Structure 1
Amino acid sequence: MTDGKSANRQLTGGQETRQASTGTVGLGVIGCASIAWRRTLPAAVADPLTRVVAVAGRDPEKTDRFARQFDCQAVYDYQQLLQCEDIDAVYVPLPAALHARWIEAALHAGKHVLAEKPLATDADTAARLVSLARAKGLLLIENYMFTHHAQHRAVRQLVADGTIGELRAFSAAFTIPQLPPDDIRHQRGLGGGALLDVAGYPIRAAELFLGDGLEVVGAVLRHHPLWEVDTGGAALLRTASGVTAHITFGIENAYHSSYELWGSVGRITVDRAFTPPADHAPVVRVERQDGVREHLLPCDDQFARVIRAFSRAVLDGAYDLPAGGGHRMVEIVPHARLVDAVRALSS
């Protein structure tokens, strides 16, 4: 049941801290999720500023497998992991409905937190967690990792340079194929549903390009007769100046991951916008009356960028990640309020 990496007899005495005590960030993981196995932990292991110290899980066999793969300690109790003095920060890839409890516990234990999206299942809870993090001087980040990919900075620069003129409208879609019946995203009690799982990506993209002050003016959610959760929908948002954003999302559709920006003199299109693999070379397509130009960009690993930015901020004692990435504490609550508004307007 245990192996040489087991930390159950070693984890003692947590303490509140704002900065890592060494030149690297000791990272603990609460939950043995697929995204941690496939993308986040490989990035963390490869990052020179990050040490993966321990992973905690409720299934000993699965937890041991994670510990062997990532050369860290296996722990079978989440609270015990939070008591480890070698851990400066925790990564939380649990089901959405469990985020708030363990984010709060981590913050009370003095740990910085990188949490998978959504940070919480409602805006009031998100606001409470952000307030707690600020009161304790700790970093709390909601992991919409795509905002760190270099392709979006390239698009922002094109817009800033006036390549498509004045921005008039934004459109984005993130849909994935139908999931197995027993997938946690079909379980309401675990925070399942398309709104909490995939809608946040196009909403976050709208915030990234249109800025603060977005409001939801219309929304529709679609439900499957066999499950208690929403399986897709759409929403219309707008800025105070009248720029619109149309988003589409779903968990029983053909895969689609893109956004478009329409301006007064042109249009920018980005495919594979939200979940590009690290070896994907992005293409940013610009259409204007004088022709079409495709900008081929270098490959980029958004998971590696998130891990590096997070660890750098912890080491620097920062409350936030650098501006311009769409990945900051100040953005967590406004984003959650937009998600709440989609839910409210669709009922």
Structure 2
Amino acid sequence: MTGAPHTGRPLRVGLLGCADVALRRMLPAMVAHPEIEVTVIGSRDAARAKASADRFGGRPVTGYEDVVAADDVDAVYAPVPASLHATWVDAALRAGKHVLAEKPLTTDLASTRRLLDLARDRGLALVENVMFVHHTQHRAVRELLDSAVIGELRALHAVFTIPQPPPQDIRHRPDLGGGALWDVGVYPLRAALHFLGPALTVAGAVLSRGAGHQVDTAGAVVLRTPQGITAQLSFGMAHAYRSSYELHGSEGRIIVERAYTPPSDHVPLVRLESAAGARTLRLAPDDQVTATLTAFVAAVRARAQPDPAVLRLAQLLEQVRHFAPPTTAARG
């Protein structure tokens, strides 16, 4: 059976597409990882597949069919546009391959649930590539919360905004799963799940479109837990860059900048304000891409069940769409 763990040899990975995130972050980390071997790189553009294979190794193929069918591929990495995930993740799982898929896993709850069930039934690892949760700075924040240094947690405020992508970018295309919610909104939503737990519900949401756009370019969401802890989230892709969250407690707050996509040499700074005063914790740099790949390899070796957070995130995304459907009036 393909996709089975192979003791004593690296995990053989094939790529479904040569997206920017693959070329810029994932492939360099895969090539450097001692437990991963890139064996096949597929692209609908033959020249792009060849150029990527020349740079990172493996053999180039045109299209994605030969990647999922390859005998020398144990797992596939899928950085194809979000609207194609349901098709190609399904194909990979049915071919017996483990899958690391870019976020969001799909753009609708039913498809996400179906793929998670398929992976579970076949004993295959299916991982949504939300990398920031593997960075050690968030573990340090969790330890601060658990020590009650800011008292009882009351609220989370999280922001992820980026400058506007170029006009031809797929994030502007509704047919490919574009829009701010799918691209950057998943980060503060996932941060809320990470710190506040799975019982979150959407209390309100707004999605807006900039003039001339066919997809949402900004949004805001309010979440709450059964205990009354709230999360206020904002995101957008026509903004100045900001990547942060704050945890507010009864006796202080914790502030993290560069929360979601820090480079591997970034020195994390966690600001703590409490009754005892203000201080900044300087943490060691960490490579969240490598940490994500290590976690994926471990999931494959163990044939781990899917992370329940994947389904919860999909449920929250659907709730946001319910409160703020894509037909939200445009804003200039």
Q: Distance in 1 between matches of 2:269 and 2:3?
A: 42
Which stretch shows the higher mean deviation, 87-96 or 76-85?
A: 76-85
Report the equivalent of 2:96.
110
Q: Does 1:73 align with 2:51?
A: no
| Residue 276 of structure 1, aligned match among 242, 246, 262 | 262
Report the equivalent of 2:221.
235
Report the equivalent of 1:57.
43
Alignment of 1:307-346 (within 5 A): 307-315=293-301, 317-320=302-305, 329-346=307-324
Report the equivalent of 2:330.
none
Q: Distance in 1 between matches of 2:86 and 2:264?
A: 30
**Contact 1:16–1:108, Cα closer than 8 Å, also in 2:** no
Q: Does 1:190 align with 2:168?
A: no
**Contact 2:3–2:73, Cα closer than 8 Å, also in 1:** no
Q: Distance in 2 between matches of 1:135 and 1:34?
A: 32
Partner secondary structure for residue 230 of structure 1: coil
Partner secondary structure for residue 275 of structure 1: coil
**Contact 1:222–1:231, Cα closer than 8 Å, also in 2:** yes
| 1:174, distance to aligned residue in structure 2 (A) | 0.3
Aligned residues: 325
Alignment of 1:125-164 (within 5 A): 125-164=111-150
Report the equivalent of 2:328.
none
- For structure 2, the 5+ residue unaligned runs are 326-332
Residues 181-231 of structure 1 show CA distances to partners (whole Å, capped at 9, x for unaligned) of 111000000000001111000000000000111000000001123121100
Partner secondary structure for residue 152 of structure 1: helix
Report the equivalent of 2:277.
291
Q: Distance in 2 between matches of 1:293 and 1:99?
A: 44
Fraction of identical pairs, as percent: 49
- Any runs of at least 4 consecutive aligned residues in structure 1 with deviations exceeding 4 A, and if so which? none
Residues 82-135 of structure 1 show CA distances to partners (whole Å, capped at 9, x for unaligned) of 111111100000111011100000000000000000100011110000000000
Q: Distance in 2 between matches of 1:181 and 1:138?
A: 38
Q: Does 1:217 align with 2:203?
A: yes
| 1:256, distance to aligned residue in structure 2 (A) | 0.5
**Contact 2:150–2:251, Cα closer than 8 Å, also in 1:** yes
Q: Considering only aligned residues, what root-mean-square deviation do their CA atoms show, in Å?
A: 1.1
Q: Distance in 2 between matches of 1:314 and 1:191?
A: 27
Question: What amino acid is the match of 1:259?
Answer: Y
| 1:343, distance to aligned residue in structure 2 (A) | 1.2
Compared CA separation, residues 263 and 109, structure 1 to 2 (3 A)? same
Question: What amino acid is the match of 1:344?
Answer: H
Q: What is the TM-score normalised by the length of structure 2?
A: 0.96
| 1:16, distance to aligned residue in structure 2 (A) | 4.1
- For structure 1, the 5+ residue unaligned runs are 1-14, 321-327
Q: Distance in 2 between matches of 1:87 and 1:35?
A: 21
Q: What is the TM-score normalised by the length of structure 1?
A: 0.92
Partner secondary structure for residue 124 of structure 2: coil
Q: Distance in 1 between matches of 2:210 and 2:270?
A: 35
